[in-house]
Amino acid sequence: MRKQTLLFLALMLPACLAFGGGYQLNLQGLRQLAMGGGGTAMPWDASTMFYNPGGLSRLDNFQANGSILFIVPSTQYVNDVTGVSARTQNKVFTPFNVYLGGPIKKAGGLGVGVAVYTPFGSGTYWDNNWTGRYAIQNIELQTIFIQPTVSYKFCDEVSVGVGVVIGTGNVKLSKAIPIQDANGNDGEANLKGNANGLGYNVGLSFKASESLHFGVSYRSRVDMRVKSGTANFTTATAIASQFPNTSFDATLPCPEVLSVGAAWKPIEKLTVQVDFNLTGWNAYDTLAFNYSAPVNGSMRSASARLYQNRIVSRVGANYQASEHLALMIGGAYDPSPVRDGYVTPDLPDANRIVLTGGFTYRIVSKLTLMAAVEYVTSAKRNGVSNETGFSGRYQNKAITPGIGLSYDF
């Protein structure tokens, strides 16, 4: 009798993987970042390969452009029933990007280039014994997209571009298993794996006049597939056979994004631009892990996400203060794709307000220094995860400085 009752342990499996808005980084170019993250209409520099590949053939020069950013995300959790409060550990993540490309000939029709950028690359680290440890202890996703790109300018007004996206990256997460050993220690699940995926990026750039520019771009969904990731479990010996160390497959969709933008120059030195990004978050319907050996009696653990598509609005301005110096400022409103009932502590997403600023300084004729900073603050969200019953209030903030150089050939 007793033996039978011990066979089935009602546990939560490590199914949760939520890469909400906070994991999608819009940090692919410092100029664009400094203007609220938009850049669909105006090909500011070689990083237009990300924002709108159609703009590449419109650049004045072939250009090398690179930057590195330092994100320090911070989340606070408060439970109003127990009074428990927790904060994520301070971890610095360093997304980067490198672009090499432009028109083959000055004022020619064809532009080529290659872009390397990190569209997702952040993590959430709670203390291992925190109150939500059975939902998540820590999670991190790093992706690098490599995008060879061609662009063609039909005429002064219209150019198009297309890039093939080759995605690679890795994911890891840890959570506690609610069965304690003789010393009172929880079990632990550690999953990690490399992920790969393919996609594309197309865009159209339209220069209506010297002072009015439009653009539209579409970045496809990239299904980052984890094949044979490692799933390691540490548990009390008595239940170790139910938690064998095994491997898993999973698919983490990086959502599609449709962007439209407009840029206007009311005076020669000032550019004002707006962008709208429709993000196909509904790709996050369910996240499933398929194990190669049964974990707690099950080959698969799935977690409903039911994310909603969202439109991010961005506005920014660039002011050419002098021959050498340009100043930028911007902001964005990034509504959360996460529905009520699906707010999880791995990334407790909420509507976010983004404020940015930056400058570029031409050091010598071909070399320009770029710097930008992004400040993101989320609404205070009172949320619950139906899957784990974990609830509370959350707030996220992150400050992200970045620095880079561009060189015109």
Partner 1 sequence: MNTKQLLIGGLAVLAFAGCKPHLDTQAFNNGGLDFTRYVAVGNSLTAGYANNSLCRSSQMSSYPSILAQQFSAFGGGAFLQPLLKSEVGFPGPKLILGYTTDSVTGVTSLGPIPDPAPSDNAGDEANIAAQGPFNNLGVPGIRAIDFLIPGYGSLNPYAKRFFSSMTARPLAELGRMNPTFFTAWIGNNDVLGYATSGGSGTINGGFLDQNSISNSTLFAVALDSVVNRMTAGGAKGVLLSIPDVTAIPFFTTIPYNGLVLTRQGQVDSLNGAYTGTGITFKLGQNPFIIVDNSVPLIKRRPMVEGEYVCLTVPQASLKAGLGSIQPIPGQYILDATEVGNVRSATATFNGMIAQEAAAHNLAFVNMGAFLSTLSSGILYNGVNYNAQFVTGGAFSLDGVHLTPRGYAFAANEIIRNINAFYGANIPMVDVNAYHGLAFP
- Assess 9 for contact with partner 1 (CB under 8 A): yes
Residue 94 DSSP SS3: coil
Residues 6+ apart with CB under 8 A from 27: 33, 69, 71, 95, 97, 118, 374, 400, 402
Tokens of 404: 């880079």
Q: Is 380 in the site for partner 1 (CB under 8 A)?
A: yes
Does the footprint of partner 1 cover residue 355 (CB under 8 A)? no
395 binding partner 1? (CB under 8 A): yes
Taking the complex as a whole, how short is the minimal distance between the CB of residue 6 and partner 1, in angstroms? 5
Question: Could you say which of 208, 212, 238, 311 contacts partner 1 (CB under 8 A)?
Answer: 238
Residue 47 as a binder of partner 1 (CB under 8 A): the answer is no
270 binds partner 1 (CB under 8 A): no
In the list 33, 49, 135, 141, the residue contacting partner 1 (rule: CB under 8 A) is 135
Interface region with partner 1, contact rule CB under 8 A, candidates 116-124, 215-223, 231-239, 284-292: 231-239
Do 262 and 205 contact (CB within 8 A), yes or no? no
* First-residue to last-residue Cα distance in the chain: 79
Give me the DSSP letters along 350-393: --EEEEEEEEEEESSSSEEEEEEEEEEEEPPEEEEETTTTEEEE
Closest CB 10 distance from partner 1, rounded Å? 4
Residue placing its CB nearer to partner 1 in the complex, 183 or 209? 183
DSSP letter at 283 equals G
Using CB under 8 A as the binding rule, the residues of this chain from 173 to 202 that contact partner 1 are 175, 178-184
Nearer to partner 1, 130 or 333 (CB): 130
Task: Select from 145-153, 156-164, 321-329, 382-390 the region that touches partner 1 (CB under 8 A).
Answer: 382-390
DSSP class of residue 84 equals: -
Q: Does 398 bind partner 1 (CB under 8 A)?
A: yes
Angle among Cα 373, 91, 328 to the nearest 5 degrees reads 5
CB of 50 to partner 1, least distance (A): 25
Q: How far is the CB of 182 from partner 1 (least distance, A)?
A: 5
63-82 residues near partner 1, rule: CB under 8 A: 72, 74-82
In angstroms, the CA 345 to CA 226 distance is 22
Using DSSP, state whether 109 is helix, strand or coil: coil
- Minimal CA–CA distance to 176: which of 123, 228, 121, 236? 236
Residues that bind partner 1 (CB under 8 A): 1-3, 5-6, 8-12, 72, 74-85, 87, 131-135, 175, 178-184, 235-239, 375, 377-378, 380, 388-390, 393-399
